[in-house]
Structures are given as structure tokens and as C-alpha cells.
Amino acid sequence: MSRCVYFTTVNRGASVERGGEFVCLDWDTKTVRAKTAIFPASPTLRDPNPRGNTRGGRGVAVVGEELYVASYHTLHIFGRNLERRRDLTHGLFAGLHELHYTGNGSLWVSATAIDAALEIDVASGRIVRACWPRKSPRLQERWGLQPLVIDEEADNRARFLARAHQTHPSHLHLNAVATWRGATYALFNHFGAIVDLDSAEVVVEDPTLRGAHNLHIDEGGTAYVNDTLRRVVRVFDLVGRRQREVLALCDFEPLARLARSYWISDALICWAKRLGLRAPVARPLFVRGLYRLGHLLFVGMSPATIACINMQTYEFVDLFQYSRDVATCVHGLVVCDDP
């Protein structure tokens, strides 16, 4: 039995058609078994944003013997050897980010551009539930939210490409969904919060979660989130509603060494931002992509690299670097044992 890591990449600044890949990696041998380009087509998109936006692959989920991979407006379904099987899209698929399979026949999709969480019945491909947290009176009162102006019956896939909707004060940047004890939780990147979508209850609100990505919740209610820009993984206790620990990735020498090798590009970005200049579109050790398998935590970052940490011993286990180009970053990530 071998352990496979399936991950997506985004190539910042590239054309949409060359914006990223879906990769199958044999983790034990560090051999790339297969890879394929991932980009949204039908409809094709003209992207005014030079960063990720419509480029490359997003979240990944294992559903039985199939893999569901998100691009900007489509779910691409593959077999375990990355053979293409079919595509699934919908008028509400706009800015898809992370995916979460419940294990009970439904797949949660975060439609980040429209601040929605969509539950898909994998057997039929239908949306069986849509959560619109900006409509919640409880959340409106807490943060002064306004509902998104959107025709839910229209084709919205190409209507939110510009950045205007992201700068609206009510934009949540809902970019990850997870389930725990029968409830559905989402990460609100702009407000730095983990929210129970069923009750509209804010379980955790922490400024360190602003700009964060990924949400993995284990059976005991421990939530793992990537603090993307600070290069750490934050661990929260959802029962106690507190931050329990911080895993600083650069405390591990292999990752510190990786960061040092890109210090010039990192310094240029910081310098440009301080002077109010237009900064490069890519930053080294931009942390995104997260999966826990047993006591092993797999973390993705840029330049497209995956690190493995033992969360029992807090020891660095291993690392695989797919690309040395800082503009190429990991986005989605799952790990499974393949026979």
C-alpha cells in the first residue's frame, strides 16, 4: 500500500489556460504519478486579476474511488490515476475554493465570490442546500452585514471576476467548509471567524484568522487553519472556543532554509507594500493547502511545496518541492492510502 498526495497548483500571473495543475504524488517515493492541467472552460473567462482568481485548481476531495477538483466555476471529476470522467458546473459556482466531503453522499463547496456554501448531492449532482450567511439576521447584527445582491437563478459564473465585490465591507470571503457533530462550519476569511452555518453562531473570532485559508476539524473538535501570511498553522479548540496552539512552520529548519532561499523576493514585496507601490503577485511561503491523516499534518505552500509534520511529537517528517517558481503555489490538498 502506498500513500498518495493529491494536490492542485495555481500559477500566479500566468494565462488562465496555463494557470495550474492537478497532481498525483506517490509520497513514499516522491514520484509524480500523473498530472493534468486545470482551468475553467465553458464558459471561458477573461480575468482582469493578475493573481490567482480564475487560475488553476482549488480544493480537492476524495469521494469513494473518485476525486473532485474545483476550478473557478467547475467541479472536475477524476479517477485515482487522474483519468478524466466528467465535469459538473452550476450558475452559482463562482470563485470555488475548498471542498469538503461529508462521507454521507454530499459534498460541500465554498463559492467564495458570492459568499455561499453549497451542498451537492454527489449521486445526482444537484445542489440540495445553499447557505447564505449574509442573509442571517444574527450575523447582520454582529457585523453590520448586507445581503449580496444576486439573482440566484441566473448564471453567475462570470459575474464576479472583478475585485469590487471583495472590497465590499460585507464580503465574508467564505473560503472553506467543514462538518463536525452534524453541524456545518465555515471560515470567514475577512472577519477572521469560524461560524456554525446552521445556527449562525460565531464559534471563534480571532484577528489572526483574517486572511486565513483551509479548515480541518477532527472528531474531538480541534480545528486546524492555515494562517497564510504569517506562515503558521493555528489550532483551535471548538469546544473551549479558544486558540490552543500555534505551529510555526519556520521553526523547522528545512522550512526555515526554504524561506531563506527566497528572502530577496520576500524583502522586495515588503518594501513595495511599505512604499505603497504595486507589489509582485506572488510571495514565498504563502501557506495554503492542509490535510490531517492520523497524527500527520500535511501543509502546502509556495513555491509549490508540501511539508509533513508529526502532530504527536511535533517533529518535521518530510518535504516535497514540486516547483522552485515562487509564483506557483499549492492550493488544494488531500492525502489517502491507495492499495
Instruction: Give me the CATH topology for the region 2-338.
Output: Neuraminidase (2.120.10)
Range 137-155 average pLDDT: 97
How many other β-carbons are positioned within 10 Å of the β-carbon of residue 17?
11
The answer, yes or no, to whether residue 59 has pLDDT greater than 90, is yes
Are the C-beta atoms of 136 and 188 separated by less than 8 Å? no
Sequence ranges of the domains in the chain: 2-338
Residue 98 has which C-alpha cell? 475548498
pLDDT in tens, 247-264: 999 999 999 999 888 865
Residue 272 confidence (pLDDT): 58
pLDDT in tens, 283-328: 778 899 999 999 999 999 999 999 999 999 999 999 999 999 888 9
- Cα–Cα distance for residue pair 199/232, rounded to 1 Å: 29
Residues 6+ apart with CB under 8 A from 332: 7, 8, 57, 58, 59, 60, 69, 70, 98, 99, 289
The answer, yes or no, to whether residue 94 has pLDDT greater than 80, is yes
Residue 281 confidence (pLDDT): 55
Residue 268: band (very low, low, confident or very high) from pLDDT cuts 50, 70, 90 = low
Q: Note the helical H segments in the chain.
A: 137-143, 253-260, 263-274
Are the C-beta atoms of 46 and 93 separated by less than 8 Å? no
